[in-house]
Structure 1
Amino acid sequence: MVGTAERLVEVWRGDICESEHRGHVAVWHADAGLIWALGDIDRPMLPRSSSKMIQALPLVESGAADAHGLTDAQLALACASHSGMPVHTGMVTDWLSALGLTEDALRCGAHLPYHEPTRDALVCSKCAAGQRHNNCSGKHSGFLTLTKHLKAGPEYVDPAHPVQRAVLAAWEELTDETSPGYGIDGCSAPNFASSLKGFARALSQFAAARDGADARQSAMVRLRGAMMAHPLLVAGEGRACTRLMEVMGPRAAIKTGAEAVFAAIVPEHRIGVAVKIADGATRASEAVVTEILCKLGLLDRADPVAQGYLSGPIRNVRGTVTGGYRLTEALTGWQPRL
């Protein structure tokens, strides 16, 4: 998604702009439709981990979550790109045990934890990271729960598997698009494509869902509520999803994805927000989504957490402030009518 990308974020060092980030934004209102857009919102894109709440939807909608007694904390972990902290890995181990499974049932692969103290402890103890440390192991535990509920085979990451067929069906119904294809994500699961506009539309349906309206809407309400109630489980200490949701409280569910995708679900405004930065720079997607959340009245832009993502500052290794970020008029000029 490089063509026609809008210039959104500048990176300044002193009085010199040394780089810039371009991208795409779609904001969809559940009733009014598309209410704001920048860049090319019609080209196919991969949402990566920002779509995990949609990937978890069949788990809840099917009745599998209730049949296996899943808690809201576990549902938050199913939507997570977690840091591999003990709270995350302990929950995954217990979840698999309750299913009568071990870590070998996971298909996400292993990587070192993002959480530095946990990573350093593993390295110093000469212990290898396990699949439970994978940031997607909560999502995969959810996939395994649905697999068991459907009495399906163990290769749940196969695009033809009943679990992934259910994910694709939910994806296409919520985006109101036929997916043009998929990419295999870092965790080996298929990641289905849509337009950015379609993704924002899907997120707005999560925002507008009402508990008790039907099985799907109740499932969406439960998943967005789980994310807002357990921000530490959705990411981890020091991570943008966690820090911003902690500041906002139960007003928005947000989720980052690889290659600088960011999603936001805003129930009080019935709005879904989808952001994609063309060059894959996370610092830019965090700045853009924070600005939009401020414009929607969910964040105080003077809050130190918000300021850190909006403008920096950038410091060198001695702690000296060397520069910061500036948002362009294309982004700051939007005034939503709420």
Structure 2
Amino acid sequence: MAHLPVHVPLAAFSRDQRIEGVHYGSLAATAPDGSLLFGAGDPATPFYPRSSLKPFQAVAMVLAGLDLPEHLLALAAASHSGGAAHRAGAVEILRRHGLGIDALRNTRDLPYGVAEREEWLRAGGAADRICQNCSGKHAAMVGTCTLNDWPLESYLDPGHPLQQLVARTVTALTGEEPAQWSTDGCGTPLPALSLTAMARGYGRMAGLAAGTEADDDVEAAAAVVARAMMRNPEMVAGEGRDVTALMRGLPGALAKDGFEGVQLIGLPDGRGVAVKISDGGDRARMPVAVRTLLSLGVDVSGVDGLASPPILGGGMVRGTLTALESAFPDHLSTEQNREDNP
């Protein structure tokens, strides 16, 4: 039988002062040097980071020569909502490399955003590769292949030169060899990594974007990708999306979500946060992540609305979804966290 992670209660939602449900999960908060400051649940067991891997994949593509305007590079690391700007951006990435939509091998889907999906359907649209939330990444991947004279048809194969470069880049940024590989929903190779490793990678990227001196080409490329995402948060997700709101409300933070309840955040001082909700519930990842930031002493007043979304009944607020205080340490400085977690 597969190993079961030892998840713990991280968040609960109430209705009229009665707990109606509990979300279990795990989290990791890392120091600028990549060590674990504190965690909950099972931060060491490898999991699939899903779309939170995209910034690392984009770093590999920059290393391979991908050169895009910042808003398009942000789209290459995005799980976008499928709005007009996102669709046009993916097409533009292809056009810049002499390619068309037929070069893409991602799955077909409707736009991810609710408003964007409704607009697309009203216009008579159907599931399409350019609408799928990973189309920016796939457009950048085939563009990178064109730049390097790598095969296009097989760009999703784990043995392809691009995917081999991604694998090396992931290890370089996280400091961890993947425990195994699978395939993501869009078709790209997907490594299993610990929450601690993922938090370490995001903290590293955010710190480099904030001015930490790069020691090598990987770190230089990581700074370029992180800055592009921070400066274009609407391309990383979309209007009304919590990841976009977090990067707007916390300047200098790098944020990316992933399917199955995954949330990653990097801070400009090099600290990182990784959250995995065990049931895959999307609604709990951001309240848990914001509460983790609070334990790190981060001023989260700019993202108050993400910390405890309301529970409605008959159109009225009848409760909230909040992180459970028992899962978190008090507000501690980095030095205090080090002392408590040697």
Give the 3 Å change call, closer, same or farther, for CA 205–307 of structure 1 in structure 2.
closer
SS in 1 for 2:130: helix
How far did residue 171 of structure 1 move?
1.3
SS in 1 for 2:66: helix
How far did residue 2 of structure 1 move?
4.9
1:173 is aligned to 172
Give the 3 Å change call, closer, same or farther, for CA 116–327 of structure 1 in structure 2.
closer
Structure 1 contact 157–190 (Cα < 8 Å) conserved = yes
SS in 2 for 1:194: coil
1:86 is aligned to 84
RMSD (Å), alpha carbons? 1.8
Letter in 1 for 2:85: V
How far did residue 5 of structure 1 move?
1.0
2:267 is aligned to 266
2:144 is aligned to 146
Q: State the distance in 1 between where 2:276 and 2:243 align.
A: 16
1:312 is aligned to 309
Cα distance per residue 1:32-65 (max 9 Å; x no partner) = 6111111111212000001111111111123x12
Q: State the distance in 2 between where 1:208 and 1:116 align.
A: 33
Q: Note the 1:241-256 alignment, pairs <5 A.
A: 241-249=243-251, 251-256=252-257
Give the 3 Å change call, closer, same or farther, for CA 234–37 of structure 1 in structure 2.
same
Letter in 1 for 2:254: A
Letter in 2 for 1:149: L
1:132 is aligned to 130
Give the 3 Å change call, closer, same or farther, for CA 94–326 of structure 1 in structure 2.
closer
Q: State the distance in 2 between where 1:292 and 1:192 align.
A: 25
Q: State the distance in 1 between where 2:168 and 2:214 align.
A: 21
Q: State the distance in 1 between where 2:129 and 2:218 align.
A: 30
Structure 2 contact 57–166 (Cα < 8 Å) conserved = yes
How far did residue 120 of structure 1 move?
2.3
Letter in 1 for 2:220: S
Query: Unaligned stretches of 5+ in structure 1?
Result: none
Letter in 2 for 1:290: V
Q: State the distance in 2 between where 1:145 and 1:229 align.
A: 22
What TM-score do the two structures reach when normalised by structure 1?
Answer: 0.91
Structure 1 contact 75–223 (Cα < 8 Å) conserved = yes
- 1:334 and 2:330 matched: yes
Give the 3 Å change call, closer, same or farther, for CA 116–23 of structure 1 in structure 2.
closer
2:7 is aligned to 5
Q: Note the 1:96-115 alignment, pairs <5 A.
A: 96-115=94-113
Which of the residues 242, 245, 252 maps onto 1:240? 242
1:197 is aligned to 196
Letter in 2 for 1:65: L
Which stretch of structure 1 is more off in the superposition, 201-210 or 129-138? 201-210
Letter in 2 for 1:325: L
Structure 2 contact 178–193 (Cα < 8 Å) conserved = yes
Letter in 2 for 1:195: S
Q: State the distance in 2 between where 1:281 and 1:124 align.
A: 29
Letter in 1 for 2:118: D
Q: State the distance in 1 between where 2:323 and 2:120 align.
A: 39
Q: State the distance in 2 between where 1:324 and 1:282 align.
A: 15
How far did residue 296 of structure 1 move?
3.9
Equivalences, count: 328
1:225 is aligned to 227
Which stretch of structure 1 is more off in the superposition, 278-287 or 166-175? 166-175
How far did residue 126 of structure 1 move?
2.3
